[in-house]
């Protein structure tokens, strides 16, 4: 199971890669593995903002649909359009091409409540 040490994690299996005041957000390798084959990602392309801990979309796999929770609050700068054409990017590259949204962080203190890679590994029993 891949758990990059440069990311922050939520207990709901989302990750955030922070670059300055911008966070790229997606689901973890563990989450995509539990979901199985992802067939559809539903994120409003006009999404303007997200709030930490609140749902910003859903991901649909062959066996289930799962809500996506924002790890941080902020203005949505970009939604990854590639996922609407190829949802399986989440299975193939969850930490790279499979990112979901790019957010300008409005409250950097929220990052302190996210898990480190080590804490996330403990959560998933790794």
Q: Which domains does the chain have, with CATH numbers?
A: 8-106 (2.40.50.100)
Burial class (CB in 10 A: 0-12, 13-18, 19+), 16: buried
Check residue 126 and give its pLDDT.
84
Check residue 63 and give its pLDDT.
86
pTM (predicted TM-score): 0.95
* Terminal C-alpha separation, the chain: 8
Residue from 38, 14, 32 nearest 24 by CA:
14
Check residue 74 and give its pLDDT.
98
Check residue 124 and give its pLDDT.
96
Check residue 125 and give its pLDDT.
93
CA angle 103, 79, 53 (to 5 degrees): 50
List per-block mean pLDDT (blocks of 10 residues) for the chain, which spans 126 residues.
95 97 97 95 94 97 94 97 94 96 98 97 94
């Amino acid at each position: 199971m891949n758990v990059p040490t440069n990311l922050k994690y939520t207990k709901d299996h989302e990750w955030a890669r922070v670059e300055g005041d911008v966070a790229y957000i997606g689901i973890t390798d563990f989450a995509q593995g539990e979901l199985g084959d992802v067939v559809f990602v539903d994120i409003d392309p006009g999404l303007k903002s997200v709030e930490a801990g609140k749902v910003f979309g859903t991901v649909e796999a062959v066996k289930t649909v799962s809500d996506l929770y924002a790890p941080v609050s902020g203005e949505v700068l970009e939604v990854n359009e590639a996922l609407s054409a190829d949802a399986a990017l989440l299975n193939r590259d969850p930490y790279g091409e499979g990112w979901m949204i790019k957010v300008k962080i409005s409250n950097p203190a929220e990052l302190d409540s996210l898990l480190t890679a080590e804490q996330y590994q403990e959560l998933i029993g790794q």
